[in-house]
């Protein structure tokens, strides 16, 4: 069995696909923002300063984000990875909307995450389609 990078490099991808090192760098920039903002939301929910339903899309997003890599590179299941990234993308919209009335800065801080996941979603859907 080939390693994940050989497998990924063998896939038909759009010409504009970022290099794996670029993708990794972008996540290294985004994850601290995600940790701070999501952590803040969960702490506020625990302190009962936010209703738990407001934290729900953050939890869904976190789980979907974490399981993407095992689905994509462990299971090598492109259709399931496509569904998963759509969940990540939709839950960013959901969480930004529900947190807005409580903490607008948390909502605004998701803009870079949303932009990147939008690009990554189009990329994943393209890869899934091209390798069916």
Average pLDDT over residues 80-106: 98
The proportion of the chain whose per-residue pLDDT surpasses 70, expressed as a percent, equals 100
The confidence band for 2, taking pLDDT boundaries of 50, 70 and 90, is confident
pLDDT value of residue 82:
98
Biggest CA pair distance of the chain: 50
Question: Is the pLDDT at 26 greater than 90, yes or no?
Answer: yes
Average pLDDT over residues 36-64: 98
Buried b (16+ CB within 10 A) or exposed e, 41-55: bbebbeeeebeeebb
Nearest to 23 by CA among 124, 130, 131, 125: 124
| CA 53/CA 56 separation, integer angstroms | 5
pLDDT value of residue 20:
86
Kindly report the average pLDDT of the chain as a whole number: 96
pLDDT value of residue 107:
98
- Cα-Cα end-to-end distance for the chain: 20
């Amino acid at each position: 069995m080939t390693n994940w990078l050989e497998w990924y490099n063998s896939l038909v991808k759009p010409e504009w696909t970022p290099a794996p090192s670029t993708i990794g760098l972008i996540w290294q920039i985004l994850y601290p923002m995600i940790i701070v903002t999501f952590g803040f939301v969960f702490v506020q929910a625990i302190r009962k300063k936010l209703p738990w339903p407001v934290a729900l899309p953050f939890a869904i997003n976190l789980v979907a984000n974490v399981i993407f890599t095992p689905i994509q590179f462990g299971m090598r299941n492109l259709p399931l990875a496509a569904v998963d990234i759509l969940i990540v993308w939709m839950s960013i919209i959901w969480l930004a909307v529900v947190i807005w009335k409580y903490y607008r800065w948390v909502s605004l801080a998701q803009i870079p995450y949303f932009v990147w996941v939008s690009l990554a979603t189009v990329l994943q859907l393209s890869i899934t389609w091209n390798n069916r």
